[in-house]
Structure 1
Amino acid sequence: MDVLWFRNPLRHIAITSDFAFASDFFFGDEDQIEPSAPNGGFMYVKSSNKTIEFFKNWQDQRVNYPDKHDQDVLNNIKVEFSKKFQVKMQFVNTLYTAGFCEMSKDISKVCTVHANCCVGLQAKLLDLRSILDDWKAYKSIPPWAKEKGTFRFRDHGICIHPIKK
């Protein structure tokens, strides 16, 4: 696993969602399937017959995409399959489910950080340790300093991309 969990992300999942995914980049609408690209850093699935069928068919589709990661297969079938199986997909704001592609702009709200957009275990571990150090530093400051909202995750590393302002 290459995800740090700081808070419970489930409170950011709509009760109407059958699936909720973290994504590499957030485009402003959690219900917008395109151009959202799901990633495996965080995935919530409501257990039901239709989600079970979705999963079975998703795995079956891997035959059609032999050189693709399961996440890439999902990205290719998400529109068609969400209609076919009548499942509601949610793409959680990167404010809450951040990653190295797009870090959270607010450390006081981030729930998970995924080492996405990063190749190599050593690089992932180095940058995840940096994020964990930032988190520990944030947790150690007094409440009045946290309320200022000036503490941020570092925006550099081997894989960490600069935070969009």
Structure 2
Amino acid sequence: MDVLWFRNPLRHIAITSDLAFASDFFFGDEDQIEPSAPNGGFMYVKSSNKTIEFFKNWQDQRVNYPDKHDQDVLNNIKVEFSKKFQVKMQFVNTLYTAGFCEMSKDISKVCTVHANCCVGLQAKLLDLRSILDDWKAYKSIPPWAKEKETFRFRDHGICIHPIKK
């Protein structure tokens, strides 16, 4: 696994969502299927007949995309399949389910950090350790200081992309 969990992300899932995904980049609307691209850093699935059928058919589609990763297959079928199986998809804001593609702008809100947009185990581990060091430093700050300032993860690393201001 290449995900750090700091808090429970389930409180950011709408009760009406059948499926919720982290995404590489957040475009401002959690309910907008396009242009959001799901990633495997975080996935929530409400158990139901329609989500079971969605997953069965998603896996069946892999034969049509033999050279693609399962996330790429999902990205290709998400619009058609969300309509076909009547599932409501949600793409969680990267403020809560961050990744190296788009890091959370606020360490006090982040729930998970995924080592996406990163190639190589050594690079992922180095940057995840940096994130964990930042988390430990943040947790050691007294509560009164946290209220006065917004704290962020570091803005550099082998894979960590600069935070959009």
TM-score (norm 2): 0.99
Structure 1 residue runs of 4+, over 6 Å off? none
Report the Cα distance in structure 1 between the residues aligned to 2:149 and 2:118, rounded to whole angstroms.
Answer: 28
SS of the equivalent of 2:22 reads strand
Shift of 1:5: 0.3
Aligned counterpart, 1:90 = 90
Find the counterpart in structure 1 of residue 45 from structure 2: 45
In structure 2, distance between residues paired with 1:116 and 1:6 = 17
More displaced, 47-56 or 143-152?
143-152
Q: Deviations over 1:41-72 (max 9, x none)?
A: 00000000000000000000000000000000
Contact residue 131 and residue 154 of structure 2 kept, 8 A: yes
Larger deviation, residues 91-100 vs 150-159? 150-159
Provide the C-alpha distance between the structure 1 equivalents of 2:133 and 2:14, rounded to a whole number of angstroms: 31
Percent pairwise identity? 99
2: CA distance, partners of 1:116 / 1:42: 11
Deviation at 1:144, TM superposition (A): 1.2
Alpha-carbon separation, structure 1, partners of 2:151 and 2:35: 31
Q: Given that residues 106 and 150 in structure 2 are in contact (C-alpha distance below 8 angstroms), is that contact kept between their aligned partners in structure 1?
A: no
Question: More displaced, 21-30 or 140-149?
Answer: 140-149
Question: CA–CA distance in 2 between the matches of 1:145 and 1:94?
Answer: 24
Q: CA deviation at 1:148?
A: 1.8
Residue by residue, what CA displacement relative to the aligned partner does 1:98-157 show, whole Å, maximum 9, x if unpaired? Answer: 000000000000000000000000000000000000000000010111112242100100
DSSP 3-state at the match of 1:90: strand
Aligned match of 1:100: 100
Name whichever of 144-153 and 81-90 sits farther off.
144-153
| 1:149 counterpart residue number | 149
Work out the number of aligned pairs and report it. Answer: 165
Q: In 1, distance between residues paired with 2:14 and 2:98?
A: 18
**Alpha-carbon contact 2:97-2:110 (below 8 Å) kept:** yes
Aligned to 1:32: 32
Deviations 1:3-44 (Å, cap 9, x if unpaired)? 000000000000000000000000000000000000000000
Segments of 5+ residues of structure 1 without an aligned counterpart are: none
Give, in whole Å, the separation in 1 of the partners of 2:109 and 2:151.
12
